[in-house]
Homo-oligomer: A and B are copies of this chain.
Amino acid sequence: MTATPTHLHPPVPVPVDDVVARAQRAFDVLPDLAPAVRAAALDAAAGALAEHADELIAVARDETGLLPARLAGELRRTRVQLGLFARVVEQGTHLDARVDEADPDFALGVPRDDLRRVMLPVGPVLVFAASNFPFAFSVAGGDTASALAAGCPVVVKAHPGHPRLSRRVADLVARALVEAGLPDAVLQLVEGQQTGVEVLRHPGIHAASFTGSVRAGRILTGVAASRPRPIPFFGELGSVNPVVVTADALSEGGDGLLRGYVTSVSGSAGQLCTKPGFLLVPEGSVVDPVIAQAASEVPEHRLLNAAIADGYVARRAAVLATDGVRVVHGGSVRRDDDGQAWVTPTFVAVSLATLRNHSDALLDEAFGPLSIVVEVPARTDLADVVAELFPGNLTSTVHRGAGEIGPHLDRLARVMARTSGRVLFRGWPTGVAVTPAMHHAGPWPATTTDATSVGTAAVGRFLRGVAFQGAPQELVPVPLRDDNPWNVPRSSSPAGESARW
Contact = CB atoms under 8 A, between A and B. Distances in A.
B467 A98 contact: no
Q: Which 8 A-B pairs have the closest CB atoms?
A: A450-B464, A439-B467, A83-B501, A98-B437, A117-B437, A426-B470, A100-B437, A439-B465
A422 B466 contact: yes
A80 B501 contact: yes
Contacts of A449: 232
Given A410-B475, A417-B120, A421-B465, A80 B108 contact: yes
B441 A465 contact: yes
Contacts of A80: 107-108, 498, 501
Interface in A462-501: 464-472, 474-475, 477, 491, 493, 498, 500-501
Nearest to A84: B501
A468 B425 contact: yes
A426 B466 contact: no
Interface string A404-423: 01000110010001101111
Interface residues on A, range: 35 or more
A470 B107 contact: no
Contacts of A113: 426-427, 433
Contacts of A73: 108-110
A474 B437 contact: no
A268 interface: no
Given A225-B225, A426-B470, A437-B115, A465 B450 contact: yes
Contacts of A232: 449-450
A87 B501 contact: yes
A499 to B, nearest CB: 10
20 contacts: A76-B109, A86-B501, A96-B457, A98-B436, A100-B436, A100-B437, A112-B433, A113-B433, A117-B436, A229-B391, A229-B444, A232-B449, A410-B474, A421-B465, A421-B466, A423-B471, A426-B469, A427-B469, A427-B470, A455-B467
A424 interface: yes
B435 A493 contact: yes
A275 B434 CA distance: 45
Given A112-B435, A113-B433, 12 more contacts: A77-B108, A96-B457, A100-B435, A115-B433, A115-B435, A117-B437, A117-B439, A123-B418, A229-B392, A421-B465, A421-B467, A427-B469
A230 interface: yes
Nearest to A473: B405
B108 A468 contact: no
A106 interface: yes
Contacts of A435: 100, 112, 115, 493, 498
A122 interface: yes
